[in-house]
Structure 1
Amino acid sequence: MTPFKPKLIVFDLDGTLVDSSPDISNAINLMLSALNQQTYSKQQIRHWMGNGVTMLIKRALTGELNPLTDPDNLQLAKRVFSDFYRQNVCVESQLYAGVKEGLDQLQAAKINLACVTNKPALFTSSLLTEIGIIDYFPFIASGDTYSRMKPDPLPLLEAANFFANETEHALMVGDSINDIRAGKSAGFKTALVPYGYIGKYSCDQLGADYQIDSIAHLSELLSLAY
């Protein structure tokens, strides 16, 4: 493994730092019930996660992994979901093991930390605040912060600009194809956590530069560069 010491590490949120699937699943099923549609198991809804809330809602409305058209009630469903999820954004959600420890280690090493998520800003700040890690991230970009979101590299490039860091000294840490594609397009190194919402892909198919079982293991990865 090639030694690499980044000056900036950008983290995805859902499926990387936080297991938010229980609260998202609950809101999806409340939405479906309100619309008189079939509900699903949390395991099924978790399988549909990883490509943004709009795609998740489309999958829930249609029961299809790759819906070809937008359901007629998509906009109504998005409003209903938002109402339910906003009120219960951090009831059952939990930090993954090693997240707090890993962030503490990186902060102590004076590495710049950012959070870039496709989650709408309405939910991002609430979740980061309620789960207790918002203060680690001087830079936070949500799915509606800029005109484009992951897998587009724009929010990652904005993070690098914010810290005045060159992209070759930056690392994107995530759990999905959107994270890895965004990182590679931005010129970042990429690290994959295999425990999140990887969807239909295998870890090998995503082609990340590194794979780590826990955010706490990032310090071990970075120690290669000292």
Structure 2
Amino acid sequence: MNKQLLIFDFDGTLIDSVPDLADATNAMLTTLGKDTYPIETIRNWIGNGSRMLVERALVGDITVPEGALTKAEADHAEQIFFEAYTKIGGSKTVAYPDVDSGLKQLHAAGYTLALVTNKPIRFVPKILESFGWQDLFSEVMGGDSLSTKKPDPAPLLHVCTQLGITPDQAIMIGDSRNDILAGQNANMDTLGLSYGYNYGQDIRELGPTEAFDHFTDLVTWIMKDNI
């Protein structure tokens, strides 16, 4: 395959941040005098960035009807969510099994690693530092780093441009339809992980180049196929 660049998603791929995101979401809802939701319900609302999570929580459904919320309502709620998430500080966020060792193995093998997440960029550095990963990634993009986010291919193509690597030399790795579609839209190979946040859909249904149930199997596949 002769790949040089591995672009990773963050939440649901490298880290499980659902407990903290759920706590922040319910804190927002409580502040607004609305009903709260169990963590498994909120889990299905994660993956399209903070704004969509907030809007889904406000209407209590994964589908937000057009006109259900005013911009002012959503702006106000999102600000409350940001404040709550900042206070929580990632205390319950954990790395998935074998991710720490796998990332270090790939980095040591000479691959260039990048991170493209739909999480607002302001929250990313602190989480990376908490795991000691800040030096592993040559480029880091948040959901608000550009005017568009995944599944738009723009963040992936921007990373390639910044690093001087062509899309055909890159792989997009993630757990959700936004990751796979972004990679496909950028004409990249894609690798799917089945354990993350994909709204109950099997990642394999989206047609990634390959899919894996465990991060260690993904690392083994990359190392084997790129000898």
Whether TM exceeds 0.5 here: the answer is yes
User: What is the CA distance between 1:224 and its match in structure 2?
Assistant: 2.5
User: What is the CA distance between 1:200 and its match in structure 2?
Assistant: 3.9
**Cα–Cα, structure 1 residues 5 and 89, in superposed 2: closer, same or farther, change >3 Å?**
farther
Task: Look up the match of 1:191.
Answer: 191
Partner residue of 1:49 out of 46, 51, 63: 46
Task: Look up the match of 1:71.
Answer: 69
Task: Show CA shifts across 1:145-194 (max 9, x none).
Answer: 11211111111011111221111111000011110011011111000111
1:26 aligns with 2:23: yes
Query: Tell me, what secondary structure is at the counterpart of 1:48?
Result: coil
1:12 aligns with 2:13: no
Q: What letter matches 1:80 in structure 2? A: I
Gaps of 5+ in 1: none
User: What is the CA distance between 1:11 and its match in structure 2?
Assistant: 0.2
Question: Which region of structure 1 is more displaced relative to structure 2, 84-93 or 124-133?
Answer: 124-133
Alpha-carbon separation, structure 1, partners of 2:2 and 2:198: 26
Structure 1 segment 126-165 matched on structure 2, within 5 A: 126-165=126-165
Structure 1 segment 111-126 matched on structure 2, within 5 A: 111-126=111-126
Task: Look up the match of 1:225.
Answer: 226
1:205 aligns with 2:202: no
Q: What letter matches 1:53 in structure 2? A: S
Question: Which aligned runs of 4 or more in structure 1 are off by greater than 6 angstroms?
Answer: none
Alpha-carbon separation, structure 1, partners of 2:158 and 2:29: 36
| Percent identical residues | 37
Question: Which region of structure 1 is more displaced relative to structure 2, 65-74 or 85-94?
Answer: 65-74
Question: Which region of structure 1 is more displaced relative to structure 2, 46-55 or 63-72?
Answer: 63-72
Alpha-carbon separation, structure 2, partners of 1:197 and 1:26: 17
Q: What letter matches 1:43 in structure 2? A: E
Task: Look up the match of 1:97.
Answer: 97
Contact 1:102 1:217 in 2 (8 A): no
Task: Show CA shifts across 1:124-153 (max 9, x none).
Answer: 122222232222112001111112111111
TM-score between both structures, scaled by the size of structure 2 = 0.94
Query: Tell me, what secondary structure is at the counterpart of 1:138?
Result: strand
TM-score between both structures, scaled by the size of structure 1 = 0.94
Alpha-carbon separation, structure 2, partners of 1:32 and 1:38: 6
Contact 1:99 1:214 in 2 (8 A): no
User: What is the CA distance between 1:86 and its match in structure 2?
Assistant: 1.3
Q: What letter matches 1:225 in structure 2? A: N
Count of aligned residue pairs for this structure pair: 223
Gaps of 5+ in 2: none
Query: Tell me, what secondary structure is at the counterpart of 1:37?
Result: coil
Alpha-carbon separation, structure 1, partners of 2:214 and 2:143: 24
Q: What letter matches 2:106 in structure 1? A: L
C-alpha root-mean-square deviation of aligned residues, in Å? Answer: 1.3
